[in-house]
Amino acid sequence: MKRQKHKSNKNKRNMIICFSIFMSMYLGVSAYFINHFYFGTKINGINVAGKTVKQADELISSSISTYTLELQGRDGKNEEIKGSNIALTYDPKDKITDLKNSQNPLAWITSIFNKNHTKLDELVKLDENLLKEQINKLSYFDSKNIVEPKNATFNYIDDAYEIQKEVMGNKIIKENLYGNVKNSILKGDTVLNLGETDSYENPKYVANSNEVLEAKKLLDKYTSMKITYTFGSKQEIVDGSIINKWLETDENMNVVFNEKKMRSYIDSLARQYNTFGNTREFLSALGKTIQVSGGNYGWIIDKTKEVKDLVEIIKKGQDVTKEPAYSQTAVSREKNDIGNTYVEINMTKQHVWFYKNGVLVTEGDVVTGNLNNNCGTPVGVYRLNYRERNATLKGENYAAPVNFWLPFNGNIGLHDASWRDRFGGEIYKTSGSHGCINAPYELANTIFDNIESGTPIVCYYEE
């Protein structure tokens, strides 16, 4: 029993001695770390393990003298900013000392297992004007090298739209680059990837942006429809092959209509199908084919309204058959737009014929404008403006009451003329009207009772 007790006491003494030795060593190392950095300590990537504050300052300061920031641009275009060119100097203030003081000497053993990599900002100072000069010299700002960013776009191919991938470009935002470079230098970074920062002006919309995908759906909808314009027996088809030329996207990827291009298309329809003021071949009552020019009769497409109507139709995305909007219409859409209901005035013969649906309703002699005083009735095809009973026609020095007033060219029209007892012949040459067609009462009455507004009035002289 005594032997065992002696052995136990000896073990305890050994343990106490070992613990005392360990504590002496631990406290000795702790004393060392009162003035030295932990194992594994790095400041801004510089190894200062086991260094004093002064030694750490010297190490970091020496690295500043050779400091270079590498700028990694797009397309492999790299540049660099040297610390020597921007008056970069070491200016830690108390930050190194504060870091050292934050390390508890007694806790040094934890540094063996946990590396202490510290990032300290603004250990340096620089000349901002020199930095701006260096940035201005970078090749990124050479206009020959700049590629503008471009949003994803659309191409209409084989009756459908394809999304064209965006162009990232390499246009630098100078203010952002300056800020990013300055911050990197103050943080002690040695590499700045411009593509991973906001240094570039980037496209707003890329190929897989929701706005781009939605715009494509709308473009496909608009170009999948068909509009059939009718002009009597003729047709014009507007489908995706035409509509796609009118569609664009704005800066917010909204689908918009290029109304200028739409107007150009409607202009082409007007050139082809408007008949207002055209020279017409006309088969006279006497069986002679004549050319009649001028007048205010004929079809006129309302271009402004038709463009607006067209926009709304396309937005609905449904096939439509329609006539264009007209500001003025004519009787017929055939080659002879006069049709078979019209008033024919042969001013050489001083005679009027009124046909309705191809049937002669009435005819008779008249007196037209006075040629002697340049009041001759203008030639051309006109349209009857309106019908009025018991009107008073007024001029510079006259006021003439009439029973039947049928104006078709400004103040010129057909009416009865109770003050005349003769019609026809060559009266018009020296004693004609102020331009109107003077007709006998019965002739004017019959025409008045059977005619409608818009009816063609054909005025001509025979050669």
What is the distance between the alpha carbons of residues 154 and 157, in angstroms, rounded to a whole number?
9
Indicate the pLDDT class of residue 92, thresholds 50, 70 and 90. Answer: confident
Closest CA to 330 of 395, 275, 288, 290: 275
Residue 57: predicted pLDDT: 72
Across 59-63, 222-226, 293-297, 342-346, least confident range:
59-63
Mark out the alpha helices in 127-173 (DSSP H runs).
128-136
Residue 115: predicted pLDDT: 65
In this model, does residue 194 exceed pLDDT 70? yes
Residue 89: predicted pLDDT: 87
pLDDT, mean of residues 27-55: 75
Residue 266 contacts residue 301 (beta carbons within 8 Å): yes
| pLDDT one-digit tens code per residue, 368-377 | 999 999 999 9
Residue 430: predicted pLDDT: 95
Residue 263 contacts residue 255 (beta carbons within 8 Å): no
What is the distance between the alpha carbons of residues 342 and 370, in angstroms, rounded to a whole number?
24
**The two structure tokens encoding residue 283:** 């088969």
Residue 104: predicted pLDDT: 76
Residue 38: predicted pLDDT: 75
* Domains recognised in the chain with CATH numbers: 33-141 (no CATH), 211-282+294-328 (3.10.20.800), 342-460 (2.40.440.10)
Residue 100: predicted pLDDT: 62
Chain center to CA of 94: 57
What is the distance between the alpha carbons of residues 209 and 200, in angstroms, rounded to a whole number?
19
What is the distance between the alpha carbons of residues 170 and 202, in angstroms, rounded to a whole number?
8
What is the distance between the alpha carbons of residues 272 and 268, in angstroms, rounded to a whole number?
6
Catalytic residue numbers? 415, 436
Residue 221: predicted pLDDT: 96
**Average pLDDT of the residues of the chain:** 90
Indicate the pLDDT class of residue 394, thresholds 50, 70 and 90. Answer: confident
pLDDT, mean of residues 166-192: 94
In this model, does residue 97 exceed pLDDT 90? no
Residue 191 contacts residue 285 (beta carbons within 8 Å): no
SS3 283: strand
**The two structure tokens encoding residue 291:** 């050319």
Q: Give the torsion through C-alpha atoms of 80, 81, 82, 83, to 10 deg.
A: -150
Residue 98: predicted pLDDT: 75
What is the distance between the alpha carbons of residues 455 and 341, in angstroms, rounded to a whole number?
7
Residue 407 contacts residue 383 (beta carbons within 8 Å): no
**The two structure tokens encoding residue 118:** 């510290």
Indicate the pLDDT class of residue 10, thresholds 50, 70 and 90. Answer: low
Q: Please give the single-letter amino acid code of residue 430.
A: T
6 versus 34: which is more confidently predicted?
A: 34
Residue 32: predicted pLDDT: 78
What is the distance between the alpha carbons of residues 259 and 310, in angstroms, rounded to a whole number?
10
Residue 34: predicted pLDDT: 76
Indicate the pLDDT class of residue 125, thresholds 50, 70 and 90. Answer: confident
In this model, does residue 46 exceed pLDDT 70? yes
pLDDT, mean of residues 405-415: 96
Indicate the pLDDT class of residue 258, thresholds 50, 70 and 90. Answer: very high
The three-point CA angle 47-49-50 to 5° equals 140
Closest CA to 97 of 157, 47, 51, 131: 51
What is the distance between the alpha carbons of residues 7 and 1, in angstroms, rounded to a whole number?
10
Predicted model pTM: 0.73
| pLDDT one-digit tens code per residue, 140-153 | 999 998 999 999 99
Helix or strand holding residue 273 (H, E): helix 259-273
45 versus 22: which is more confidently predicted?
A: 45
Residues 6+ apart with CB under 8 A from 278: 298
Q: Please give the single-letter amino acid code of residue 115.
A: K
Residues 6+ apart with CB under 8 A from 438: 366, 367, 368, 415, 416, 417, 420, 423
Residue 344 contacts residue 287 (beta carbons within 8 Å): no
pLDDT, mean of residues 385-403: 90
Indicate the pLDDT class of residue 202, thresholds 50, 70 and 90. Answer: very high
